[in-house]
Each structure stands twice: as structure tokens, then as C-alpha cells.
Amino acid sequence: MLKKTLLVFSVLMIVSGCSTIITPVRAGEPLPSSEEEKKILAVLDDMDKKQRPGMMNVPVEDGRLLRLLTEAANAKHVVEIGTSNGYSGIWFCLALHKTGGTLTTYEIDAARAALARENFRRAGVDKIVTLIEGDAHEQVTKLKDPIDMVFLDADKTGYIDYLNKLLPLVRPGGLIIAHNMNPRMADPIYIKAITSDPRLETIFLNMQAAGVGVTLRKR
């Protein structure tokens, strides 16, 4: 009897202990601090609820991460490969309208590019966005200005080409952020490039979902 009671007690202790460890801490909703921010967040929320199918957008948590990194880095020029309908781009703009920066974003699909233009306009960020329609592998070679942050979110096997073409423009202390770093989706050649180059420091975040690689071009 005593043995049985002890066993039940031990099981209860383990279960309650585990639940304390795995209870997730929620960040809560992003809280707007100005009318401009409120308008941008409302458009993001609308896109999240109504436009996701077929748009391959980053999850909300990853969007919030992009905004946070951009604002913390005081980024003035962000380059995004893979605009889709502009969802992640608008998260960048939430930070860029505070830092006084701009976004250059690339999209090969004309219909998604048109939808992105409309979303940038209704979020009121169109003036700080340059959307370039076409194949980013060719188009990025025209970039000449320094870049504070690159976001790779297009053809996965193309990441290594984008890295090789854009890294020389990324300022020391700048970031290269890559989406879909989960081993189910990521290109091993890109992973090797960002984890074996002593000029770079890489960490991986949100790997329980699509996964985000954050790579620092060291000073």
C-alpha cells in the first residue's frame, strides 16, 4: 500500500514539475504606440487573417522578430528577397518608419507584386519601399549602396547565390537573416556557408517552426 502511494505521489510530482517547465511564456499582442503604428499593425492583422493562403508568409512570431532586429540595429537599408504580398516587408517597415530607413524588396511573380504594392499603399509605407519585379538573382547585381540587413525568403537553393552577391555590400555589424532554416527545408550548402566562415557568426531561432538563421557580419 505504502509502495503504491509513493509511486502515485512520485508520478504526480514528475507531472506537475514537467508542466511548470513546458508552460510557454506568451509575448502578448504587439501594442501600438502611435496612430501610424496602429494603422500598420491593423493591415498586418488583416493580411494575416485574409491573405495567407498561397502567400507563403512568415509566421506572426517571425514577423515580430524581423521588426525587433531591424529597430534594435537601427537599420537604414533592408534588402528582402521574396516579397510575396508584402507581409514580412510591412513588418520591416514598422521598424523602418522609426529608423528613417528604406526597404528594397524583390518579387518575380507579377500578381503577388501587384498585391504587395496595394498592401504597402494601404499600410501607408509605400514611400519607403522600392519593389523590384523580376528575378532577384539578376536584379541584386545592380545594388551598389551599403546594406544593414538582408532577408532571404525566396528560392531556397538560391540562398547561396544571394549570399555571395550581397555579403560584400553588407556593412560590418550588419545582419543576414534567412527564413526556412529547418533541416526539412534548408539548403545544406547555405547552412555550411554561414556556419563555417570565420567572418560570420550565426544563430538559429524559432526552429520549432520554419526556423530563422540570424547571421552577423562581424566587425
Q: Give the residue with the Cβ less far from ligand SAM, 56 or 197.
A: 56
Q: Which residue type occupies 180?
A: N
CA 116 to chain CA mean position, Å: 16
The least distance separating ligand SAM from the CB of residue 81, rounded to whole angstroms, comes to: 6
Strands 212-217 and 170-179, bridge-based pairing: antiparallel
Residues 6+ apart with CB under 8 A from 152: 81, 82, 159, 162, 163, 176, 177, 178, 179
Q: Give the residue with the Cβ less far from ligand SAM, 89 or 101.
A: 89
- The answer to whether residues 86 and 119 touch, using CB atoms and an 8 Å cutoff, is yes
The least distance separating ligand SAM from the CB of residue 42, rounded to whole angstroms, comes to: 17
The least distance separating ligand SAM from the CB of residue 39, rounded to whole angstroms, comes to: 18
Q: Give the residue with the Cβ less far from ligand SAM, 81 or 167.
A: 81
73, HSE (Cβ side, Cα atoms, 13 Å): 27
The least distance separating ligand SAM from the CB of residue 133, rounded to whole angstroms, comes to: 8
The least distance separating ligand SAM from the CB of residue 17, rounded to whole angstroms, comes to: 38
Q: Is 133 helix (H, G, I), strand (E, B) or coil?
A: strand
Q: Give the residue with the Cβ less far from ligand SAM, 61 or 197.
A: 61
Q: Give the residue with the Cβ less far from ligand SAM, 88 or 104.
A: 88
> Residues in the site for ligand SAM, rule: CB under 6 A?
56-58, 82, 84, 87-88, 106-109, 112, 135-137, 153-155, 158
DSSP, residue by residue, 142-166: G--S-EEEEEE-S-GGGHHHHHHHH
Q: Which residue type occupies 31?
A: L
